[in-house]
């Protein structure tokens, strides 16, 4: 199989075992990079680091160290690539955020594009202390993207921290009340807590601020019929 077909297996079909078999004897740089990404997804950070090193993917190596909680090692690697890409600068910012250093600041789009993905990866890596530090700095991230509390809440909810997610969703509504997704997510949490009436209220609010928000409309049809 060629590179394009392998990438389709990785990005679309996610057939990781098959890719490993196909690339077992490959010595091409792009194949090492794909194998590094697979091991990263599987939380095998040492293996991922080795493959990224073979692929000369220095940012990948730094990201592995970050997910291992080896903050200083990650920074030593990534600082060499500062300003080479939005992703590198974003991870350097997260590192600084954890150490209370403010040499780099995020953009609205970096937070929108990377924040949830990397917070989820930190949960997979069980880096709870780093997660706590980042969540404790949401007030600072709010200056750059006012949806930060919603982003954090979604990841917390997906990782069964629903009470903490509920607190952040309510905080998000204090800032962005006319956000149907936030009302909807809060409604979902209320449903999980067997608070049907409160859930219906939130789904109705989501519908009020955006008449075309189908997830809330579908929920209301199920709950009110």
In percent, the amount of the chain with pLDDT more than 70 equals: 100
**What's the pLDDT score for residue 102?**
80
| CA 103 to mean position of chain CA atoms | 23
Confidence of residue 8 (pLDDT cuts 50, 70, 90): very high
Q: Model confidence over 52-63: pLDDT tens digits?
A: 999 999 999 999
**Helix, coil or strand: residue 66:** helix
pLDDT at 32 over 80: yes
Confidence of residue 114 (pLDDT cuts 50, 70, 90): very high
pLDDT at 162 over 90: yes
Radius of gyration of the chain (CA): 20
Structure tokens at 33: 């990079």
**What's the pLDDT score for residue 75?**
97
pLDDT at 87 over 90: yes
Mean pLDDT, the chain, rounded, equals: 95
Confidence of residue 40 (pLDDT cuts 50, 70, 90): very high
pLDDT at 85 over 90: yes
DSSP 168: H
- The secondary structure element, H or E, covering residue 179 is none
- Among 29-43, 91-105, 180-194, which is the least confidently predicted range? 91-105
Confidence of residue 37 (pLDDT cuts 50, 70, 90): very high
**Helix, coil or strand: residue 15:** coil
Residue with tokens 């067997």: 194
Domains and CATH numbers, the chain: 1-56 (no CATH), 65-145 (no CATH), 147-225 (1.25.40.10)
Average pLDDT of the residues in 20-43 = 96
Question: Cα(184)–Cα(206) distance, rounded to whole angstroms?
Answer: 6
pLDDT at 161 over 90: yes
**What's the pLDDT score for residue 101?**
79
Confidence of residue 197 (pLDDT cuts 50, 70, 90): very high
């Amino acid at each position: 199989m060629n590179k394009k077909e392998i990438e389709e297996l990785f990005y679309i079909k996610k057939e990781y075992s098959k890719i490993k078999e196909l690339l077992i004897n490959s010595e091409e740089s792009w194949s090492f990079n794909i194998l590094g990404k697979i091991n990263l997804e599987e939380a095998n950070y040492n293996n991922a680091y080795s493959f990224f090193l073979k692929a000369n993917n220095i940012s990948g190596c730094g990201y592995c160290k970050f997910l291992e909680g080896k903050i200083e090692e990650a920074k030593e690697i990534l600082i060499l690539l500062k300003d080479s890409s939005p992703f590198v600068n974003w991870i350097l910012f997260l590192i600084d955020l954890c150490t209370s250093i403010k040499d780099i600041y995020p953009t609205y789009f970096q937070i929108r594009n990377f924040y949830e993905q990397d917070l989820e990866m930190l949960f997979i890596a069980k880096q709870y202390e780093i997660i706590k530090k980042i969540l404790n700095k949401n007030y600072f991230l709010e200056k750059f993207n006012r949806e930060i509390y919603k982003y954090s809440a979604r990841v917390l909810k997906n990782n069964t921290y629903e009470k903490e997610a509920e607190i952040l969703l309510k905080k998000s509504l204090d800032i962005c009340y006319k956000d149907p997704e936030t009302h909807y997510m809060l409604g979902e949490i209320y449903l999980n807590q067997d608070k049907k009436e409160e859930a219906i209220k939130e789904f109705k609010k989501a519908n009020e601020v955006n008449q075309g928000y189908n997830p809330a409309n579908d929920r209301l049809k199920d709950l009110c019929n």
